[in-house]
Amino acid sequence: MNFDVVVIGGGPAGYVAAIKSAQLGKSVACIEKNIDKTGKQKYGGTCLNVGCIPSKALLDSSQRYYDTVKHLSGHGIDVKSVSLDLAKMMDRKDGVVTKLTSGILGLFKVNNVTPIEGTATLLANKAVLVKDSSGKETKIQAENVILASGSQPIEIPIAPWSENITDSTGALEFLTVPKKLGVIGAGVIGLELGSVWARLGSQVTVLEALDDFLSMADRQIAKDVNKEFAKQGLDIRLGSKVTSAKDNGKKVIVNYSTSNGEDSLEFDKLIVAVGRRPYSESLLSPDAGIEIDEKGFVIVNEVCETSQAGVYAVGDLVRGPMLAHKGSEEGIVVAERIAGKKAQLNYELIPSVIYTHPEVAWVGKNEQDATSAGLEIKTGVFPFAASGRALASDESVGFVKIVADKKTDTILGVHAFGPAAAEIVQQGAIAMEFGSSAEDLGLTVFSHPTVSEALHEAALAVNNEAIHIPNRKK
């Protein structure tokens, strides 16, 4: 078999690259090893199967449950009894996943991408060996290869996987709500999945080795987020480095050290969420000549070219944030370059979102990064407590913050913690992509009443022109 483009891995980086390449007129195969219980191929990778989608399905369901229990009475809605059907909640999540993963095969059909089942290994000269689930081997010759094998959770020797010590995948499938849940790592997964189970009734303790909370976020935002999560019942212990975790079959005993010495806690379940590593097992034969770094990432340049001409790598397998949209956009850039276009990705403007409630989101530079890069900046902040729509919906926690260049007024970063923060920051990202100044955004008409008005007011606040701020500087 010969193809213009062979994509290894059918996650958001790989399947998008495959579809785009086919749309640009190439003959394309996408090889994926993941199969379901019936032997049917499951595309979508981590994101659709065990990542973005199932976690958001549970975040949404658990928030509805939590709101019903905690907040409806404040709206004058008296619900007599509320009960949780966890099995049904899990079924709904699985249904969403199946709908989306099978949809990819439909997209392949429409776009003429050939799906191939099996584990692929790149050999020399862009030959690819595929071993399917029955053990049968096939060799494919490619003009171009796109490596997109993604990432896997990091297992740490001090807390090896067991019945009650799990990674994020296991934490999406608990059959009962753990009474006491421990989480190692206050990163994105720790906060999202910790929130899911806390809302459903677990007593959640998050142990984070670093002293700083959400070190990648704007400090002003991180401080408020930490306070709000504490109010929600998430016990986040910073400066707490886990030294061992033992599962005795019923409970998990976790030992950790802090600046005050050693401590220990007992949990029913423990989620280990200390990051992910690139997944390149069986991917590369030594004579393929692909360079990888000491952490296992395939080394690529700014347009995802590897050390071999015609071989590209995208998504979690390469440097940069491990985010689905970053991988998909890299897939598109590579497909376009293979087709002779001069595509590029603006790595400066990849938005990040933590889908807690409220959401935390940002794009571009935060205040501390801009300052330490020697930039002269000004900032504008607008609290949701002053937003009519946020108050009307009982969602008035948090704020929007804009960082702008002091002289040119160009927006350098948009940060939000609050209702629809992800959508608000996305608007900021569009504005920044077009080189917007804070004044430009301030001159834009925003619908009233929307929570997006907080972005408008934050833009006005950059130049001390906000209307609805009680403490505006004179």
Q: Which positions are annotated as active-site residues?
A: 448
Is residue 290 a contact point for ligand NAD (CB under 6 A)? no
What does each C-alpha distance from 11 to 322, 328, 432 come to in angstroms? Answer: 12, 9, 28
Query: Which of 7, 90, 198, 322 touches ligand NAD by CB under 6 A?
Result: 322
Structural contact between residues 297 and 278, judged by C-beta atoms closer than 8 angstroms? yes
How far apart are CB 275 and ligand FAD at their closest, in Å? 10
How far apart are CB 215 and ligand NAD at their closest, in Å? 7
Residue 3 or 382: which CB sits closer to ligand FAD? 3
Is residue 358 a contact point for ligand NAD (CB under 6 A)? no
Structural contact between residues 165 and 252, judged by C-beta atoms closer than 8 angstroms? yes
Distance CA 191, CA 355 (A): 9
Query: Which of 17, 177, 354, 363 touches ligand NAD by CB under 6 A?
Result: 354
Task: Name the packing angle between helices 188-199 and 52-70 (round to 10°).
Answer: 40
Is residue 275 a contact point for ligand NAD (CB under 6 A)? yes
How far apart are CB 156 and ligand NAD at their closest, in Å? 6
Give contact residues for ligand FAD (rule: CB under 6 A).
8-14, 31-34, 45-47, 51-52, 55, 119-120, 148-151, 168, 189, 279, 282-283, 315-317, 322-325, 327, 355
Residue 217 or 334: which CB sits closer to ligand NAD? 217
Q: Which stretch binds ligand NAD (CB under 6 A): 79-87, 102-110, 113-121, 321-329?
A: 321-329
How far apart are CB 454 and ligand FAD at their closest, in Å? 22
Is residue 185 a contact point for ligand NAD (CB under 6 A)? yes
Is residue 192 a contact point for ligand NAD (CB under 6 A)? yes
Is residue 355 a contact point for ligand NAD (CB under 6 A)? yes
How far apart are CB 391 and ligand FAD at their closest, in Å? 28
Is residue 198 a contact point for ligand NAD (CB under 6 A)? no
Is residue 50 a contact point for ligand NAD (CB under 6 A)? no
Question: Tokens in use for 469?
Answer: 């701020």
Question: Which residues within the stretch 241-270 sit at the binding site for ligand NAD (CB under 6 A)?
Answer: 241-242
How far apart are CB 209 and ligand FAD at their closest, in Å? 19
Q: 327 is in the binding site of which of ligand NAD, ligand FAD, none (Cβ under 5 to 8 A by kind)?
A: ligand FAD
Closest-by-Cβ residue to ligand NAD is 187
Asked, as a colleague might, if the bond just before 449 is cis with ω within 30 of 0, I would say: yes
Is residue 403 a contact point for ligand NAD (CB under 6 A)? no
Report the length, in residues, of the chain.
474
Residue 120 or 272: which CB sits closer to ligand NAD? 272
Total residues at interface with ligand NAD (CB under 6 A) = 24
Question: Tokens in use for 445?
Answer: 């008409």
Residue 220 or 255: which CB sits closer to ligand NAD? 255
Q: 380 is in the binding site of which of ligand FAD, ligand NAD, none (Cβ under 5 to 8 A by kind)?
A: none
Residue 149 or 166: which CB sits closer to ligand FAD? 149
Structural contact between residues 146 and 312, judged by C-beta atoms closer than 8 angstroms? yes
Is residue 413 a contact point for ligand NAD (CB under 6 A)? no
Query: Which of 170, 321, 388, 449 touches ligand NAD by CB under 6 A?
Result: 321
Residue 194 or 327: which CB sits closer to ligand FAD? 327
Residue 251 or 319: which CB sits closer to ligand FAD? 319
Residue 58: φ, ψ to 5°: -75, -35
Q: Which of 115, 129, 128 is nearest to 18 (CA)?
A: 115
Residue 123 or 210: which CB sits closer to ligand NAD? 210
The 108-137 site mask, x for binding ligand NAD (CB under 6 A), equals ------------------------------
How far apart are CB 129 and ligand FAD at their closest, in Å? 10
Summarize as ranges the residues that interact with ligand NAD (CB under 6 A).
Answer: 184-190, 192, 207-210, 241-242, 273-276, 321-323, 353-355
